[in-house]
Amino acid sequence: MTAPPRLTHQSTSIKMAALVPGMAILALGGFVGLEILFGGSGSAPPPPPLTAYGPTSSVVAVFAGSDPLLAPPVDIQKKVLVPAACTTHRSLPTGGDAASPSVAIRYTCSQTAGWLQAFVDDAIPHDGWKIMSTGSTTHDGGGYAVIAQQAGSDGYYWELGVVVGTTTFTPTPSGVPVQSTELTIRIFQSTAQ
């Protein structure tokens, strides 16, 4: 029997071994360069404040003493703006079910219905709400209504219903009537997406 041929050792070229990682680094650098040149712009900056309407406040203070299970998440509360000149008239719980939280807040405002309608039309989309419908309504005393929807940090969609009532004028002893308009805001957890 003849013995198998003896194995010989062949050296590997370092140049050939370096070629593979070198090409990978070159390809990665090319992709990074393309991302820098043509990539996305990153996150959008927050919208500027609604300065045309004067100071505003959110509904966070209304929910401060509420059961957190029956209140919308804070990120939704912060996105419901009301002119600072409006005062809370009353808060009406419309559902005590933790599976479907809902509350209505009534405000008395010194502005006219037209001014409040313009504010609502600007403020709702300004804070990221998707408007679903607008128009006249008979709910909450009647007036102009907006229904909008937005996703909350809790994983649920929330709906916002706003009704701007008609402006009323109350006589005063001085003869100058005082105007007031009722603004109703309803926030509830949406069942549809």
Q: Which of 124, 118, 58 is nearest to 88 (CA)?
A: 58
Please give the Cα distance from 174 to 12 (Å, whole number). Answer: 104
pLDDT on residue 43: 60
pLDDT on residue 9: 67
pLDDT on residue 92: 59
Q: What is the tens place of the pLDDT at every residue in 72-89?
A: 889 999 999 999 889 986
- Give, in order, the Cα–Cα distances in Å from 31 to each of 18, 22, 27, 42: 20, 14, 6, 17
Q: Which residues contact 157 (CB under 8 A, 6 or more apart)?
A: 149, 150, 151, 189, 190, 192, 193
**Residue segments in the chain with a per-residue pLDDT below the cut of 70:** 1, 7-12, 40-49, 67, 70, 89-102, 191-193
Q: Which residues contact 156 (CB under 8 A, 6 or more apart)?
A: 189, 190
Q: Is the dihedral of CA 108, 111, 116, 122 positive or negative?
A: negative
Q: Which residues contact 104 (CB under 8 A, 6 or more apart)?
A: 91, 92, 93, 94, 140, 184, 185, 186
pLDDT on residue 131: 94
pLDDT on residue 165: 92
DSSP E strands, 59-110 = 81-83, 87-95, 102-109
**Side-chain-facing half-sphere of 29: CA atoms under 13 Å:** 6
Q: Which residues contact 59 (CB under 8 A, 6 or more apart)?
A: 77, 80, 82, 105, 185, 187
pLDDT on residue 160: 93
